[in-house]
Amino acid sequence: MSEHHHGHGHDHHHHDNHFTDMEARVKALETVLTEKGLIDPAAIDAIVETYETKVGPRNGARVVAKAWGDPEFAAWLKRDATAAIASLGFTGRQGEHMRAVFNTPDTHNLVVCTLCSCYPWAVLGLPPVWYKAPPYRSRAVIDPRGVLAEFGLELSAEKKIRVWDSTAELRYLVVPERPDGTEDFSEEQLAELVTRDSMIGTGLALSPEAAR
């Protein structure tokens, strides 16, 4: 069983997408170089993928670590993620609203939608290349359990999977469950367990053993 949620604000007919001068110029170079046969977008993706975890401040890991260690912060994050995240000094480039969805023993959350420029990479890190592929998006909505299994994440049949589709105004952050054996971990140590994949829901937080 799965549910498919849309965020609020379906009637957003104003500009959903925007490229800065530099973003647009890089796209222009990519277009011209591809047309001339000098680069192949797949080769560029492959190089970028090598560094995908090196892009952006990835401060979502610190948000999750704080929520694990501080129940008051966790409650605030649940109630008003935008303000709670901003309190740590992190704000989205376009001031987008964030919503934190918490994994629990009986519910797993998965975020889709990276097709446009709305993906909050500053919080989550760069999305993986495969994640942006339209087939992934549609399959994740139809068969989230199967897609997750392909990524090596086998969830029990009893576990409910909620799929969240971001809108231009609302972006999601998955708060994974805190791994066992981390009771005496500092916030910094906890943050090291929070992977990009665990914050989009295609993985879990690392166990202390796996992080070593």
Partner 1 sequence: MSTREPVSQLSEGGRGRKRATAFPPSPLLASAELPKSAEGDPVFAEPWQATAFAMTVRLHEQGVFSWSEWAEALSAELYKPGRRADASDYYDCWVVALSRLVTGLSIASGPELDALTRSWQRAAEATPHGKPIVIENDPLR
Name the residues annotated as catalytic. 113, 116-118
Nearer to partner 1, 58 or 66 (CB): 58
Q: How far is the CB of 83 from partner 1 (least distance, A)?
A: 14
Q: How far is the CB of 121 from partner 1 (least distance, A)?
A: 6
* Rounded CA Rg of the chain: 18
Nearer to partner 1, 44 or 155 (CB): 44
Amino acid at 29: L
The DSSP H or E segment spanning 173 is: strand 170-175
Which residues lie closer than 8 Å to 1 by C-beta, 6 or more apart?
A: 160, 161
Q: How far is the CB of 126 from partner 1 (least distance, A)?
A: 6
Look at residue 2 and give its three-state secondary structure. Answer: strand
Nearest to 74 by CA among 82, 63, 90, 86: 63
Q: Which residues of 160-184 are buried (b: 16+ CB within 10 A; e: fewer)?
A: ebbbbbbbbbbbbbbbbebbeebee
Angle between helix 71-79 and helix 60-69 axes, rounded to 10 deg: 120
Q: Rounded to an integer, what distance in angstroms lies between the CA atom of residue 187 and that of residue 64?
A: 9
Nearer to partner 1, 101 or 125 (CB): 125
Q: How far is the CB of 124 from partner 1 (least distance, A)?
A: 12
Nearer to partner 1, 1 or 212 (CB): 212
